[in-house]
Chains A and B, each alone.
Chain A
Amino acid sequence: MVRFPVERGAVISFARSIGDPNPAYYEEASSMSKSSQAIAPPTFSIASAQFDPEFPFRPRIGEPTTAPLATTSSKETRLPGLHAEQHFDYRRHVKVDEVLSVVSREGKRWTKINTRGDTLYFQETTTEYLDESLDVVVVARSVIVRVVDDQVGE
């Protein structure tokens, strides 16, 4: 389980990065919004990766950022995966200053052959975001696809 504090600065930074000036996401929202508390954009929960020790794309101090992905001996993981699908179910919106607990579990795996004859490996993951009462706030389902480059030998 990953502890995910929904920090005001992180929400503001995220809202800026998606070009959204909605006051509901900013500090002044507490006085401007009916909700009386700033909230997070609907896709913000993906930023729990900041707190996930196993998230592969967070730079780690003293470690190269690309080499492990580029030199692994496994064809399946030689290149990083791409996001194929993402789905969110909201029981309520995420609020600034709350602390969520994040629980992920792997789901289905499947393969497809693309038009070039390469094998596509799909992996589904379901992630629940729980509040401090352990009530579910958001359920996220992602599908990552890895494309095996059949031009590269084992």
Chain B
Amino acid sequence: MIKSGSDLVLKMSHLHVGQVHEQEVVRNLSRVQIVQYAGASGDFNPLHVDETYATEIAGYPTTIAHGMLTMGLTGHMLTDFVGDGLLTSFGGRFVAVVYPGDTLIAKAEIIAFSRQNNDDTVELNVTTENSRGEIVFRGRAKARIEP
């Protein structure tokens, strides 16, 4: 079920350390979506869009998704959780390759609350897994919340 974002601001009083928000962000990733992302981002690295290049020159079993597509999909989960325009940081490492056909589940776990530039802030561990349970993206995010 694809959800959409929200103007709602998370309230600290409704949150606790260890709380998890989890969301399927893509099911059976299509080559069309990878090409769609290439066009939208401007990144036509042939590893992502050219099967012959990916297999015969680069040595992959097929084309691979952009790491930034995985991060964009993960960002969808984050904004659904924390609300629109409230992230103050989001980053991480691309730790495994994503292929056409993959299904990805993105997860945010609350690890701390803090004050940042006079704003109440929630700190999140972020992971995205494929359907084989392999982590493909691992990172952190922070977002403003209400007291």
Closest to A48 in B: B42
A5 touches B (CB below 8 Å): no
Q: Which of A59, A83, A89, A93 touches B67 (beta carbons < 8 Å)? A: A83
A7 to B89, CA, bound (A): 23
Kindly list chain B residues whose C-beta atoms are within 8 Å of the C-beta of A50.
41-42
B108 touches A (CB below 8 Å): no
A16 touches B (CB below 8 Å): yes
Indicate with 1 or 0, residue by residue over B16-27, a CB within 8 angstroms of chain A CB atoms: 000000000110
Partner-binding segment picked from A21-29, A105-113, A127-135: A21-29
Q: Are B69 and A86 in contact (CB under 8 A)?
A: no
Q: Are A66 and B72 in contact (CB under 8 A)?
A: no
Q: Are B84 and A66 in contact (CB under 8 A)?
A: no
Smallest CB–CB gap between A137 and chain B, Å? 12
Interface residues of A in 1-55 (CB under 8 A from B): 10, 13-14, 16-25, 33-35, 39, 41-43, 46-47, 49-50, 55
A89 to B53, CA, bound (A): 34
Smallest CB–CB gap between A64 and chain B, Å? 10
Q: Are A18 and B76 in contact (CB under 8 A)?
A: yes
Q: Are B79 and A42 in contact (CB under 8 A)?
A: yes
Q: Are A19 and B73 in contact (CB under 8 A)?
A: yes
A42 to B76, CA, bound (A): 8
Q: Are B67 and A92 in contact (CB under 8 A)?
A: no
Q: Which of B25, B40, B44, B47 touches A47 (beta carbons < 8 Å)? A: B40
Interface residues of B in 43-82 (CB under 8 A from A): 43-47, 50, 53, 57-59, 66-69, 71-73, 75-76, 78-80
Smallest CB–CB gap between B43 and chain A, Å? 5
The number of inter-chain residue pairs (CB within 8 angstroms) is 150
Smallest CB–CB gap between B55 and chain A, Å? 12
Given contacts A17-B33, A24-B84, A49-B43, contact A70 B57 (CB under 8 A): yes
Interface residues of B in 75-134 (CB under 8 A from A): 75-76, 78-80, 84-85, 87-94
A83 to B42, CA, bound (A): 15
Give A contacts to B, CB under 8 Å. Answer: 10, 13-14, 16-25, 33-35, 39, 41-43, 46-47, 49-50, 55, 57-59, 65-66, 69-70, 79-80, 82-90, 92-93, 141, 149
Given A65-B50, A70-B57, A80-B47, 10 more pairs with CB closer than 8 A: A17-B69, A18-B69, A19-B76, A22-B5, A24-B5, A46-B41, A55-B43, A65-B46, A84-B93, A90-B90
Could you jot down 24 A-B contacts, CB within 8 Å? A13-B36, A17-B39, A17-B40, A19-B33, A22-B84, A24-B7, A35-B84, A35-B85, A43-B68, A46-B68, A47-B41, A58-B43, A59-B44, A65-B44, A69-B46, A80-B47, A82-B94, A83-B67, A85-B92, A85-B94, A86-B94, A87-B90, A88-B89, A89-B89
